[in-house]
Amino acid sequence: MTSLDTTLAALRASGRKALVPYLVGGVSDDWLDHVRAAVHAGADVVEIGVPFSDPMMDGVVIQRAADVSLGRGTTPQSVLDDVATLDVEIPLVVMTYFNVFHHMGVTRAAGALHSAGVSGVILPDLPIEEQGEWRASCTDVDVATINMVAPSTPPARIEQIAKIAQGFLYASARMAVTGAASDEGHALDVVTRSRAVSDMPIYVGIGITTPEQAAAAARIADGAIVGSALVQRVLEGQGASGVEAFVGELRRAIDAG
């Protein structure tokens, strides 16, 4: 069991529903202030995207933010160097693509994540059958590998994923890339089928756009992940104050049930 498992299990036991905002690393000079603002506004975990030139899961908004970040000279190591300077009391989780860490070298990458204070990592393009070396290297340094469950994932596959799950299960509400949506998608079905085989905390993401949708996701799961709607505000230049205001709205909606 990793430290992230322990922390998130305790969070669930307290009765609090998790709020996980997503921000893109290196998107601006003050991007670390965005993280601090999200924490101040009530985030329980912050997911930090390491920009990659050829993403498979990111929609238009997050791709645009990644392009801005890469254009500023951001690298995986520069993001981790920045993250290492953060002094926050909640877990930080990195989301990127395996090619980034394969290029760094698996052992080196796991060590860099640990040194930066990262508690977990999401790699949507790394299937569980190919996670052996990666998971072993990360477990050695107390970094959780977080896996995803999609509406199309069959029951037997969910059970396989649940057996090796760390941190939380990322329940994708829809078969789509990240981005705004007007409904809750297939969140209830994905959560129900995941809970049938796992006691791991389950957080719903993909398409959660409004405080109302975040509250709805938290009612059926253990937490909600909000990315594109927040990143859009960053791209509009709303800065840390805009991040804090929106995350605060999400927090109040979730807490109100």
By annotation, the residues acting in catalysis are: 47, 58
89-129: pLDDT as tens digits:
999 999 999 999 999 999 999 999 999 999 999 999 999 99
Identify the three-state secondary structure at position 219.
helix
Residue 115 belongs to domain spanning:
3-256
Query: Got the DSSP string for 83-124?
Result: HTT---SS-EEEE--HHHHHHH-HHHHHHHHHHTT--EEE-T
Query: How much of the chain exceeds pLDDT 70, in percent?
Result: 95
Residue 7 CB partners (closer than 8 Å, separation 6+)? 91, 119
Under 8 Å between Cβ of 185 and 173: yes
Say what the pTM is.
0.94
Please give the single-letter amino acid code of residue 153: T
Sequence-distant (≥ 6) Cβ neighbours of residue 126 within 8 angstroms = 98, 134
CATH of the domain at 13: 3.20.20.70
Domain count, the chain: 1
